[in-house]
Amino acid sequence: MKIVAKYETKKVTASNVVGYLEGSDPKLKSEAVLFSAHYDAYGKENGKIYAGAADNALGTAEMLAVAEAYSKASQKPKRSMVFLAVTGEEYGLYGSKYWAKEPTWDIKKVAANLNLDGIGSEVYGAVKTMVGYGAEHSSLGAMLADVAPAFQVNVIPDPMPDEKVFYRSDHYSFVERGVPSLMILGAPAGEKEVWMKRIKDWEKTDYHQPGDVIQPGWAWEGPETVAEVMAILGWRISETDSMPIWLGTSRFAKLERGNTKELPEEK
Ligand SMILES: [Zn+2]
């Protein structure tokens, strides 16, 4: 077989967008909970618009909903809250890698990262199932397991471990700098095989394609639940005396915030 591949490389400029809410505790406010979601998709190619509605306008909107809720709350969280909409995820996590290298908050004082990067499974119906990518690595896993039942949400392990999702989205840029991180995926009730098939079908027809647009059947209560769980989880991280830690059983156990050494390849 003969394969001819043609590449064109272009340099472009894009921006991350960041906002923050100052914490209320005189000591803890120097530390921050970092929320992230990538707002880029593929722009316009060959006259077609790649809207990226599920991946990742949904995640970006959920993050903004959390920011809005905190800013309207009568009480302010103890630690500060940083909201980071990153660019260039689809082309190689460029925005998050840049922020991790040139952070606008002292990286040693970033308590945790909560990331949202969707494949749209949270709009299939009411969210009753959640996956916390990275849950097995840090104390954030137990925190999610504690918060989710209040929303009648069942936390399950990664349903597609072969795809190594944990290593493929923006939170991993922060993991490399030693920050315990979690990416939350919402899904409906019922057998995971059913909604997993729906994801797989969608991936074939719409994922990273012009077809990723808002569909009439989307159930908006799902994203609402994802945002609510995220808001409570973020609030708890903000209120807890000490920052989340890596678990002794994790391959990141010895990692410290501020790390600049390259991590060994994941096997
Ligand atoms: Zn994405």
* Cα 255 to ligand 1 centre (Å): 26
Q: What is the mean pLDDT of residues 213-237?
A: 97
d(CA 267, CA 251): 11
* pLDDT score for 248: 98
Neighbours of 242 (CB within 10 A): 9
* pLDDT score for 7: 86
* pLDDT score for 267: 62
Q: What is the mean pLDDT of residues 152-172?
A: 94
Q: Select from 119, 132, 133, 127 the least CA-distant residue to 190.
A: 127
* Cα 76 to ligand 1 centre (Å): 30
Q: What is the mean pLDDT of residues 157-185?
A: 95
Is the separation of the CB atoms in 75 and 137 below 8 Å?
no
Distances (CA, A) of 180 to 65, 133, 171, 243: 23, 11, 9, 9
pLDDT of 177 above 70: yes
pLDDT of 264 above 90: no
Query: What are the tens digits of pLDDT across the range 1-50?
Result: 999 999 888 898 999 999 999 999 999 999 999 999 999 999 998 999 99
Q: What is the DSSP letter of 55?
A: I
* Cα 207 to ligand 1 centre (Å): 9
Classify 82 as helix, strand or coil: strand
* Cα 168 to ligand 1 centre (Å): 9
Q: In the structure encoding, which two tokens stand for residue 10, read together?
A: 């272009």
pLDDT of 266 above 80: no
d(CA 61, CA 129): 20
* Cα 89 to ligand 1 centre (Å): 7
Distances (CA, A) of 53 to 46, 103, 176, 205: 19, 28, 28, 14
* Cα 29 to ligand 1 centre (Å): 30
Q: Select from 107, 58, 52, 63 the least CA-distant residue to 85.
A: 63
* Cα 55 to ligand 1 centre (Å): 5
Peptide bond just before 56 cis, omega within 30 deg = yes
What is the percent of the chain with per-residue pLDDT over 70, rounded to a whole number? 100
Classify 133 as helix, strand or coil: strand
DSSP β-ladder status, 181-187 and 129-133: antiparallel
Q: What is the DSSP letter of 56?
A: I
Unique residue bearing structure tokens 């009568």: 74
Classify 129 as helix, strand or coil: strand
* pLDDT score for 9: 87
* Cα 62 to ligand 1 centre (Å): 14
d(CA 159, CA 147): 20
pTM of the model: 0.95
